[in-house]
Amino acid sequence: MSNTKVLPLLEPADGQGVVPCCPPLTERPMTAEEAETAARMFKALGDPVRLRLFSAVASHEGGEACVCDISDVGVSQPTVSHHLKKLKEAGLLTSERRGTWVYYRVEPSVLAAMGKLLALPTAA
């Protein structure tokens, strides 16, 4: 089934890529709604196994990797699958089946938006 809920940090822009959900953390206090959205992403990265999986995908050639390439993180196969699903639901990864294998990929714009969230004040 493909009813996996995706509640991304970002919303698709008309042109290309995505647009950040929230202003930088340091710009002004986040509202409850903004915090709810952004916390979902941080939470998804808040588990060591998920962080390794995410890093493995993000650092793989072309920003994309087969599950078989990244599943050596010390937990069982169902657990890997479970964590990848969580990362997908958080909007951090997308997946696509090509023949026998399933490939996960990270949108560069997602990384960019996360970086902006943590941006330092320009003036300093």
Partner DNA sequence: CACTTGTATTGATGAGCGTCAACATAGACA
Partner DNA sequence: TGTCTATGTTGACGCTCATCAATACAAGTG
> Site for a second copy (CB under 8 A): which residue of 35, 66, 67, 102?
35
Stretch that binds a second copy, among 12-20, 52-60, 80-88, 94-102 (CB under 8 A): 52-60
Tell me if 87 contacts a second copy by CB under 8 A: no
Mark the segment that binds DNA (CB under 7 A) among 11-19, 21-29, 92-100, 115-123: 92-100
- Shortest Å, Cβ 2 to DNA: 8
Sequence-ordered alpha helix ranges (H) in the chain: 32-44, 48-59, 67-70, 77-89, 108-117
Q: Are 81 and 75 in contact (CB under 8 A)?
A: no
Say if strands 11-12 and 18-19 run parallel, antiparallel, or are unpaired. antiparallel
